[in-house]
Amino acid sequence: MTREVLVVDDDRPVREALAQTLELAECTVRLTGSFIEAKDHIAPGFPGVILSDIRMPGRDGFHLLDHAHGVDSELPVILLTGEGDIPMAVKAMGAGAFDFLEKPCAPDQLVAVIDRALNTRRLVLENRRLKAQLETGDPAARMIFGTSELAEALRHTARQAARAGTEVLVTGPPGAGVSKVAEVIHLMSPGAGGPFVKRAAAGLGPDALETAWPQAAGGTLFLDELMALPSESQYALLDRLEPGGEARLVAGSTADLAQAAREGRFNADLYYRLEGLRVRIPALAERPEDIPVLFRHYVAQAAEQAGLAVPEISPDHLAALMAQDWPGNARSLMSAAMRFVLGMPDSGADTAELGLERSLLIAALGRQNGRAAQAAQALRLPRKTFYDKLARYGIRPEDYRR
């Protein structure tokens, strides 16, 4: 995002001194000498912040603050005060000013406040874009998050694959969300009104595979982790693939099927049939600029599931997340978001993730007075999955009834 600052001050030497300091801090500066001159630059999508003097001839800084918040209530306005204006500045803070600085202010103090305001503005605008994407976009826009070129390319490829109507191979590293992208393709395909039948390829014999086709009739059959499909079922699947069949096949894999086909560990004919239309999900390490968007989304989800307020996420915390490689991709980032919401130490260890899941289950049961069905619904889990998890952790719903 552009580091843009709109400076409003009727004193020309002060304006130019402020501009010099801000330009050295890599800000793009717009200089104006009055409210009348500044107001044309203030719009709901203004990507930066405002730095304004309080005392100006005509319309003062209070009027500018009111006008700016009338246009965009979340637009940060920082006010500059002269000697003896501190009570007035405190009043301005009560009226919604982001902060105030006493003139003359030290350059490092000015830049620190501007940086804080710009980070706040960036987060506000990103959240707005994400909300608009969720509310108005197609399934690719609503379900595949990220603002990077790679994320946009993934959405574009998913849309193309959906329109093609042929079988599709979705690949990506572990935890990248292969099944979600497969569902996006289904929801944007001509068969979106039909069922989306998901089957784990591991242990799926020819008879079970044959049964799955009519269940997915008119829709999509998604086979997850295709590498694990038994060899006899691979031949059966190849025989089943024909244009205009009763269901469309979308296959998913986190394994390198090309190498497996070369080494004879996977049916080469089946691989080359599916390879014709492939959707590749990039790893988070390839698109670190998407991490803040994804993390904020997962934090909001986790807070809703846990019945907690969404905690504030500092720029330093986001920078630390972006510096990590995330070999577990979106799934690991989602777990980190859950730990963040619950105030747990950040750890990628499996034991921490298991502890987190157990805590969420217990918290849901506590809020629902031990009623398992309602707790499962609150966590958006299928009832069978919820009970399986309770059994795994030895959790008894009756222990949480008041």
Q: What is residue 352's predicted lDDT score, i.e. its pLDDT?
A: 47
Work out the angle between the directed axes of helices 315-322 and 291-306 (0-180°, nearest 10).
120
CB contact set of 100 (below 8 Å; sequence gap of 6+): 78, 79, 80, 81, 89, 90, 92, 93
Q: How far apart are CA 365 and CA 401, in angstroms?
A: 8
Q: What is residue 349's predicted lDDT score, i.e. its pLDDT?
A: 42
Alpha helices, DSSP H only, in 218-280? 231-240, 257-262, 268-275
Question: CA distances (Å), 136 to each of 125, 139, 180, in order?
Answer: 16, 10, 19
Q: Are 306 and 363 in contact (CB under 8 A)?
A: yes
Q: What is residue 243's predicted lDDT score, i.e. its pLDDT?
A: 67
Mean pLDDT by 10 residues, the chain (402 residues): 87 91 92 91 90 87 90 92 70 82 87 90 81 71 90 95 92 94 94 93 94 94 95 94 83 94 95 94 94 91 85 83 88 92 64 61 80 82 80 80 70
End-to-end CA distance of the chain: 50
Q: What is residue 401's predicted lDDT score, i.e. its pLDDT?
A: 75
Q: DSSP states of 49-78 as a string?
A: EEEEES--SSS-HHHHHHHHHHH-TT--EE
Q: Which amino acid is at 240?
A: R
Q: Are 190 and 165 in contact (CB under 8 A)?
A: yes
Helix (H), strand (E) counts: the chain = 18, 10
Q: Which domains does the chain have, with CATH numbers?
A: 4-132 (3.40.50.2300), 142-282 (3.40.50.300), 285-400 (no CATH)
Q: What is residue 351's predicted lDDT score, i.e. its pLDDT?
A: 46
**Longest C-alpha distance within the chain, in Å?**
85
Q: How far apart are CA 286 and CA 51, in angstroms?
A: 36
Q: What is residue 198's predicted lDDT score, i.e. its pLDDT?
A: 95
Q: What is residue 356's predicted lDDT score, i.e. its pLDDT?
A: 60
For 287, the token pair is 């698109």
Q: Are 330 and 179 in contact (CB under 8 A)?
A: no
Q: How far apart are CA 210 and CA 178, in angstroms?
A: 23
Q: How far apart are CA 156 and CA 170, in angstroms?
A: 14
Q: How far apart are CA 68 and CA 41, in angstroms?
A: 10
Q: What is the pTM of this model?
A: 0.59
